[in-house]
Structure 1
Amino acid sequence: MSDKVLKTEGQKKVKAEGVKNNGWVTFRNSMSGIFSKLSKAFLLPIALLPIAGVFLGVGATIAANTDQGSFGWYLGSVMNQMGDVCFGNLPILFAISVAIAYTEDSGVAAITAVVGFLVLNGIQRGLITTDDSVTYKLLWWNSIPAASITQNVGITSLNTGVFAAIFVGAISAIVYNRFHKTQLPAFISFFSGSKLVPIVVFVAVIPLAFIFMFVWPGIAIGLQWFGVNSGKLPGGVDSWIFEIIERSLIPFGLHHVFYAPLWWSEAGGSISDTFLDTYLNKIAESGVINLEKLKADFSPSFFAALGLSDTGTAQLSVVRKAFYDTFDSSNLWGTMGDQTIMFAVLAQKTVKFTDIAQMGLNLGRFQSGKFGFMLLALPAAAVAMWLNVPKENRKAVMGIYFSAAFTCFLTGITEPIEFTFLFLAPWLFYGVHMPLASISFLLMGLMQVHITMTVSGGFIDFIVFGLVPNQMGTNWYHALWIAALMAPCYFFAFYFAVKYGKVMVPGRDTSSGEAQLFKKADFKAKKGGKSSKSEDQIAKATKIIEFLGGEANIKAVDSCASRLRLTVVDSSIVNKDGIMSLGGATGIIAKGDSVHVVYGGEQEVIKPHMREILAAQRAEKIQK
């Protein structure tokens, strides 16, 4: 074979490999963008949870400690129900949020998601039957347990957690993006445009409803198995594994996607599964239950609610019915997911966290560990990094470190600290922070700390969900000594790692001028610049657009709790240094067509300015 032929075939092979690789890269980048938006969508309903959680936790405590019928009791009950209704309707909130996230905040897509969610659950309601309210029938599934059936906005349907809602929201977004500009023939033109969207979704969710009816009961069995058996691992190991995975996804903004099934589905455990598959097997050795031993296992309020005698024995069937009736009357029997169950427990006063732990379900195993490193440990790491700054520069950068430390302590928002060292030295994140954070979860799980949270494990959540409802058996005191133990571990680990690893944390590298950059905005204000704060923000948004490659390179602008989330045509032309030079950002992630700029709250102001500027630039471009 000639050299020319070999060369031609080699070029064809290289070209084919290039096409193959480009196809894979395109697919990978596309999926990264999709999951990034999904993670952002989760933050919209999650943002509601802090205030709802405060009302639920404080309200339940007030109601539990005041006489029924008194003013305090009514006040507590109202506050409790105000918070509980938000957690009880998370699925429909997620449907709306997903629709909004993929349609540039369209209100039409949001109401369309509500329509789709109602129709999907209505279809299921028409086919679900039951003989005893303990097991249900649906199509060929003849023995669906009660935990797999729930009330979604008052409709008896499959307990899919937020999963079905996510699909409904996605379908609503797809239909909106495809049909909201559609012009129908004249005789039905009234239904054109945005009016057509909910009509199409009304029909589009029909196959989705049947798909979930076909497969979800089987999926629920798998989630149930995971939820039950993960809880049987040696003390704290399940929490330790969870945090290794969850923290490793933080840099990509995908941790919300990971913990969703553990917080809001059977994968995170369920009351009925734990009782039927774990505790019942433990006490059912002879079929006759020793009531004195049973009483010793549980809190007085829970045992009293069972309505059983203090002494003697009882048949297993009698005990089983007593447990079912008690959990059902407290609206706990069908609850599932680590966070969902914990808020359901806080909404009543009969069953304690310790009662459920005695049955074999360690509530808080996928949440409580955050308090161990967010309250004191990460703030201690910030102080350690600051002490590595030369003395002459410390005053200039003190505000950066101590404001980030206080934010972490108070609210549990960690990204200002985490991303400071993540982008300067990733090995600090994966080699120091992630192992220590997982140890915090291990210790919390081992000590069975039952403190839930809304978004993160800061001091506010610790007070509301640890100290205030302490009568529920939160074991909050263990969280304090674990946090106190983790603080010096973080301090010395980060102090010596930064010092001997020569990590150029802000203010340490005097030749870069980085310390001065942090003072730029303050310097302008001190000089009495005539530009208003709004004008400065507009100017900054304009420069960000420029550094992103201009209007033509930007496809979408969005934000989450601490990041400006951008979708671009080509991330390789993004000027990261230019964006960082504007101040306020602690890091930038560029992957595929996604660019995330990490701020500490400023992103919520930058986003609307960028959208307005881009809209004006594009309108001007069309006119030309």
Structure 2
Amino acid sequence: MKEKLMNSMQRFAKAMFIPVLILPIAGILIAIGNLFTNAKLLEAVPFLDNPVTKGFGTILSGSLVSILTNLGLIFAVGIAVGLAEKKKAEAGFTALLGFLVFINAMNKFMALSGSLFEGDSLRGTGQTMVMGVQILDMGVFLGIILGIVTAYVHNRFIDKEFNNAFQIYGGARFVFIVLIPVVVLLAILFSFVWPFFQSIINGLGSFINGSGNVGLFLYGMLERLLIPTGLHHLVYTPFLYSSLGGVQEVGGVLLEGSRNIYFAEIADNTVKVLSQSVIWDARGISKMFGLIGACVAMYQMAKPENKAKARAILIPAAVTSFIAGVTEPIEFSFMFVSPILFGIHSVLSGLSMVVLNLFNVRAIGPNGFIDFLLYNVPLGVEKTRWPMYIAVGLVFFLLYYFIFRTLIKVWNLKTIGREEDGGEVKLYSKKEYEEKKQSGNNTRNEEVPADIIVEALGGAENIETVDNCFTRLRVMLKEPGKVDESRLKSETGATGVVSKGKNVQVVYGLQVNSVRKAVDLYLES
């Protein structure tokens, strides 16, 4: 039961990637739109101060803010697609239909029961407008619930077919037929029970916010500490996209979640000071600065004969972390061989958020330096205090460097370049892989060694399902004990392997999509 629950949670965490990874794109475009309407920038670059560019910026940022006000729909479709085992497009379309049925069913039931609030403002009533329909304010949880329910019904009935005149009602159409009464009943049920959940959610948010820096520290620490399980997304997502991360009215629109509030505030030039809720999204210090210090320390502590190889491995990993905020290639290099370092990393990550809060810094860099520039610099120093963000980052660069260097030396930790047998803690570069191919260890011409990946996972017959998230190949295996971890690392370029029961995750970094496609093609052949 424990293994089944863990696998289900990991599948759900992976499904969350679909809507969550779209939202930063919207945020970046909002920031770009804000550039063309920023008063200080227009003063510095006069040729941008014209109706065409200002109108473009206004339209771009204003139109994309609508994504933040419809997160329920976005998460419903995204999660249904992510959890669907087959025919994912049909699952997403069915989730959209189910969402429309739900909000209108809840609205009609609340009208019949006399519980719809009548007034000019819904603020503080626990109700809101969703796509022009007044319902209980379930926020992003509505999308999460409907996404899960739709995926379950879809997986259960998508293969149902009928004969003769009823054959047109099989497959995805039958899924929708089954889903209609389910979501109608859910709408009625939540009309009664959601106010109770609202009070719990609001109380939890008040407790965390009321606990001040202690709550902030735990949040930042857990967001890193849960990376080995793949469940760290479940820590930060509610704070970014629900009332746990704050509730703020921006431009006359009531928004929930630190990311939503921040995006709306950078699009609204009338906002003078960014709200405190943005601190829940200030997770970039360890990515842009801390782990870079760790890489420098690991390089300096590498054995002399291994320094060139360590440099070739650590520099690309550090650049990826700094620019794009992808930290797993670095973290998995020491997570299992030197877990004390990963624990220190988690503590420092939480501590960095506390320090930013103490200095009243409102700048963020959740996805690396590119995001940092686009989100913060256009808003100016007064709103974000972004120079202080850099100052704090440099301090944590030094903390990571000296702590990692000291612990590696004192405890003789086997980080990159210090391994005794050369096999277990290395990140293998593409150059090394090409050398292996040329030396005869690999006679194929494919860039991705799909056959070796499959063999190292116990063979095609051992693989039940193949999927991937942002950086990891995720597979369900019949016998996980057949996994050859050392071969995955030495011959396929994997930087880490995490096994949780039958669920095995192989870390490949940003190239995981090409790895997944190659494995799929190999299995199909």
- For normalisation by structure 1, the TM-score amounts to 0.77
**Which deviates more, 460-469 or 524-533?**
524-533
SS of the aligned residue for 2:476 comes to strand
Give the one of 400, 413, 416 matched to 2:313: 400
Tell me how far 1:200 sits from its aligned partner.
1.8
The correspondence for 2:323, drawn from 410, 413, 416, is: 410
Alignment of 1:497 with 2:403, yes or no, is no
Residue of structure 2 in register with 1:58 after alignment:
32
Offset of 1:488 from its aligned partner? 0.7
Q: Structure 2: how far apart are the matches of 1:119 and 1:405?
A: 48
Q: CA offsets, 1:289-326, max 9 Å, x none?
A: xxxxxxxxxxxxxxxxxxxxxxxxxxxxxxxxxxxxxx
Alignment of 1:503-582 (within 5 A): 503-509=413-419, 511-512=421-422, 518=429, 519-524=431-436, 535-537=446-448, 540-582=449-491
Q: What SS does the corresponding residue of 1:364 show, helix, strand or coil? A: helix
Quote how far apart the aligned CAs of 1:162 are: 1.9
- Give 1:43's aligned residue: 17
For 2:371 and 2:469, locate their aligned partners in 1 and report how far apart those are by CA, in whole Å. Answer: 20
Equivalent in the alignment of 1:258: 235
The aligned residue for residue 350 of structure 1 is 270
The 3-state SS of whatever aligns with 1:123 is helix
Instruction: Indicate conservation of the 8 Å contact 2:161/2:171, yes or no.
Output: yes
Looking at structure 2, the residues matched to 117 and 353 of structure 1 have their Cα atoms a distance apart, in angstroms, of 36
Aligned-pair Cα RMSD in Å: 2.5
Runs of 5+ unmatched residues, structure 1? 1-26, 136-143, 272-326, 357-361, 617-624
Cα distance in 1 for residues equivalent to 2:188 and 2:319: 50
Give the SS at the match of 2:281: coil
Cross-structure match for 1:71: 52
1:549-570 Cα deviation digits (max 9, x unpaired):
2233222111111111111223
> In the alignment, what sits opposite 2:388?
478
Residues 411 and 220 (structure 1 numbering): CA distance in 2 closer, same or farther, change over 3 Å? same
2:450 is aligned with what amino acid? A
- Give 1:492's aligned amino acid: F
Q: 1:74–1:471: structure 2 CA closer, same or farther, 3 Å change rule?
A: farther
Equivalent residue, structure 2, for 1:601: 510
**Counterparts of residues 33-432 of structure 1 (less than 5 Å):** 33-65=7-39, 70-104=51-85, 106-126=88-108, 127=110, 129-135=116-122, 145-146=124-125, 148-234=126-212, 236-271=213-248, 327=249, 330-332=251-253, 334-354=254-274, 356=275, 362-368=276-282, 370-430=283-343, 432=344
The change in CA–CA distance for 1:238 and 1:510 in structure 2 (over 3 A counts) is: closer
Task: Report the CA distance shift for 1:463/1:517 in structure 2 as closer, same or farther (over 3 A).
Answer: closer
| Residue 409 of structure 1: how far off its partner (Å) | 1.0
Query: Partner letter of residue 130 of structure 1?
Result: F
Q: Residues 94 and 172 of structure 2 are in contact (CA less than 8 Å); yes or no, is this contact kept in structure 1?
A: no
> CA, structure 1 residues 214+553, in 2 after alignment: closer, same or farther (shift >3 Å)?
farther
Q: Could you tell me how far apart the structure 1 residues matched to 2:380 and 2:201 are?
A: 30
Q: Deviations over 1:267-307 (max 9, x none)?
A: 22212xxxxxxxxxxxxxxxxxxxxxxxxxxxxxxxxxxxx
1:82, distance to aligned residue in structure 2 (A): 4.2
Amino acid at match of 1:56: I
Identity %: 29
Q: Distance in 1 between matches of 2:64 and 2:300?
A: 42
Q: Is the 8 A contact 2:457 2:463 kept in 1?
A: yes
Per-residue CA deviations over 1:107-152 (Å, capped at 9, x if unaligned) read 11111111111111111222252221335xxxxxxxx834x33333
Distance 1:609 1:75, change over 3 A: same
**8 Å CA contact 1:339, 1:452 repeated in 2:** no
Equivalent residues of 1:541, 1:610 under 8 A apart: yes
Kept in 2: contact 1:96–1:111 (CA 8 A) = yes
The offset of 1:532, in angstroms, is: 7.4
Question: Aligned pair 1:488/2:368, yes or no?
Answer: no
Give, as a single letter, the amino acid of the residue that structure 2 aligns with 1:504: K
Alignment of 1:428-447 (within 5 A): 428-430=341-343, 432-447=344-359
Distance 1:392 1:339 in 2: 46
Deviation (angstroms), 1:169: 1.4
CA distance in 2, matches of 1:474, 1:555: 48
Paired residue secondary structure (1:582): helix
2:520 aligns with: 611
- In structure 2, relative to structure 1, the CA distance for the partners of 1:532 and 1:55 (3 Å cut) is farther
| Aligned residue pair count | 510
1:296 corresponds in structure 2 to none
> How far apart are the structure 1 equivalents of 2:361 and 2:508?
32
Which whole-Å CA distance do the structure 1 matches of 2:398 and 2:293 have between them? 7
Unmatched segments (≥5 aa) in structure 2 = 43-47
DSSP 3-state at the match of 2:284: helix
How many Å apart are 1:421 and its aligned residue? 0.6
CA distance in 2, matches of 1:544, 1:583: 7
Asked if the contact 1:541/1:609 (under 8 Å) is kept, the reply is yes
Please state how far the C-alpha of 1:516 moved relative to its aligned partner: 10
What is the one-letter code of the residue matched to 1:237? V
1:371 is displaced (CA, Å) by 2.7
Deviation at 1:485?
0.8
The worse-fitting range, judged by mean Cα deviation, of 521-530 and 184-193 is 521-530
Residues 530 and 554 of structure 1: is their aligned pair in 2 closer, same or farther, counting only changes over 3 Å?
A: closer
1:486 Cα deviation after fit: 0.6
Q: Deviations over 1:78-127 (max 9, x none)?
A: 22134323333322221122212222461111111111111111112222
Give deviations 1:485-515, integer Å, cap 9, x for gaps: 1111100111121222222223223543677
**SS of equivalent to 1:150:** strand
Which structure 2 residues correspond to residues 6-21 of structure 1 after superposition, within 5 A?
Answer: none
Are the aligned partners of 1:382 and 1:401 in contact in 2 as well (CA < 8 Å)?
A: yes
How many Å apart are 1:602 and its aligned residue?
2.4
Q: Describe the superposition over 1:401-435 as per-residue Cα deviations: whole angstroms up to 9, x where unpaired.
A: 011111111111111111111021112111x2112
Shift of 1:61: 3.5
Q: Distance in 2 between matches of 1:471 and 1:241?
A: 28
Counterpart in the other structure of 1:277: none
2:45 is matched with none
Q: How much has 1:463 moved relative to structure 2?
A: 0.8
Deviation at 1:372, TM superposition (A): 2.3
Q: Secondary structure at the match of 1:418?
A: helix
Distance 1:471 1:158 in 2: 38
- Does the Cα contact within 8 Å between 1:116 and 1:168 map onto a contact in 2? yes
Q: Distance in 2 between matches of 1:396 and 1:416?
A: 15
1:466 match: 376
Kept after mapping to 1: 8 A contact 2:427/2:493: no
Larger of the two Rg values belongs to structure: 1
CA distance in 1, matches of 2:161, 2:510: 41
- Partner letter of residue 44 of structure 1? I
Q: Which TM-score applies when normalising by structure 2?
A: 0.90
Deviation string 1:57-84 (CA, Å, 9 cap, x unpaired) is 1212422425997112111112213432
Residues 45-64 of structure 1: CA deviation (Å, up to 9, x unaligned): 22222321111012124224
Q: CA separation of 1:548/1:513 partners in 2, compared to 1, >3 Å: closer, same or farther?
A: closer
Q: Is the 8 A contact 1:228 1:269 kept in 2?
A: no
